[in-house]
């Protein structure tokens, strides 16, 4: 299948989250810090056979859109990340490409991403909160940035039970409920129907549902141990 249509780009805009006013005593009311949604650009993978495994490139494009308005094309990212058409992009190569782009964009090596094999939900939640809120190494940048996650697709919306290894960019969360079943995450879905996905480019699911898809990746995939890029 070939694609002659121009690659679609979707801009997800949100109102900057306000800084919560300090309170003298703790309350049970969730504060704004429990909810973050970044403004990102989503570049969909060309819906053809040659790009069926370019999910990492789509996720990297989302991440880079929080740093620059001149986001490289999916094909250019594929070259930088050494994508293999029949397989995709391994986590270590995705990390290398992200860091090379960020150093070029920012002029520093202060915002280095790493790939980790995460088996603890509290640790993963901490990575989400730190990166998306703009804390930690991103404090000087003044903004947050997405976390990239390896998953298996069968239990995710839009995949109709089709099982494949996949990478998504999580760019929002609502942790006000305080439980994995009640808390939610929002992520970019760059894959098209040729890759097996039929659904919107932005999905919101429970934190528990995302963690289950991540655990399925840990169980089924042994060739690439990177679960989270943050």
Q: What is the pLDDT of residue 33?
A: 67
Residue 171 lies in a domain: yes
Q: Domain for residue 14, yes or no?
A: no
pLDDT digits (tens, 9 = 90+) for 153-199: 999 999 999 999 999 999 999 999 999 999 999 999 999 999 999 99
Q: Is residue 86 part of a domain?
A: yes
Confidence at 221, pLDDT banded by 50, 70, 90: confident
- Look at the chain and report how many structural domains it folds into: 1
Residue 12 inside a domain? The answer is: no
| CATH number, domain with residue 169 | 3.90.70
Domain that holds residue 95: 34-229
Average pLDDT score over residue span 203-214? 98
Confidence (pLDDT) at 219:
87
In a domain, 10, yes or no: no
Distance of CA 139 to the CA centre of its chain: 19
**What is the pLDDT, as a whole number, of residue 123?**
97
Within a domain: 44: yes
The whole-model pTM stands at 0.86
Q: Does residue 9 lie within any of the structural domains?
A: no
Say if 26 falls within a structural domain. no
The confidence band for 220, taking pLDDT boundaries of 50, 70 and 90, is: confident
DSSP string, the chain: ----SPPPEEEE--PPPPPPPP-SS--SSPPGGGEEE--EEEEPPPSSGGGTT-HHHHHHHHHHTTT-SSPPPHHHHHHHTT-BTTTB--HHHHHHHHHHHHHHHHSSSTT---EE----HHHHHHHHHHHHHT-GGGGGGTS---EEEEEESTTSTTSTT---EEEEEEEEEE--S-STTT-EEEEE----TTTT--S-SEEEEEHHHHHHHHHHHHHH--S----EE-
Pair 18, 32: CB distance under 8 Å: yes
pLDDT score at 169: 98
What residues have CB less than 8 Å from 23, skipping those under 6 apart?
none
What tens digit of pLDDT does each residue of 42-100 get? 989 999 999 999 999 999 999 999 999 999 999 999 999 999 999 999 999 999 999 99
């Amino acid at each position: 299948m070939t694609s002659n249509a121009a690659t679609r780009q979707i801009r997800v805009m949100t109102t900057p989250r306000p800084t919560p006013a300090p309170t003298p005593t703790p309350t049970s009311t969730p504060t704004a810090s429990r909810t973050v949604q970044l403004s990102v650009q989503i570049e969909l993978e060309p819906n053809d056979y040659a790009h069926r495994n370019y999910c990492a490139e789509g996720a990297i494009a989302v991440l880079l859109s929080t740093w620059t308005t001149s986001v490289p094309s999916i094909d250019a990212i594929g070259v930088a990340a050494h994508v293999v058409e029949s397989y995709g992009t391994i986590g270590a190569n995705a990390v290398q490409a992200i860091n090379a782009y960020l150093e070029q964009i920012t002029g520093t090596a202060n915002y280095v991403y790493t790939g980790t094999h995460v088996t603890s939900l509290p640790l993963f939640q901490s990575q989400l909160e730190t990166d998306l809120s703009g804390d930690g190494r991103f404090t000087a940048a003044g903004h947050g940035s997405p976390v990239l996650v390896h998953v298996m697709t069968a239990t995710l919306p839009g995949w109709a039970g089709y099982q494949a290894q996949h990478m998504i960019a999580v760019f929002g969360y609502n942790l006000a409920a305080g439980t994995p079943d009640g808390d939610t995450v929002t992520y970019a879905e760059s894959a098209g129907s040729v890759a097996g996905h039929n659904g919107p480019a932005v999905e919101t699911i429970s934190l528990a549902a995302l963690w289950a898809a991540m655990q399925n990746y840990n169980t089924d995939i042994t060739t690439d141990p990177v679960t989270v890029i943050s």
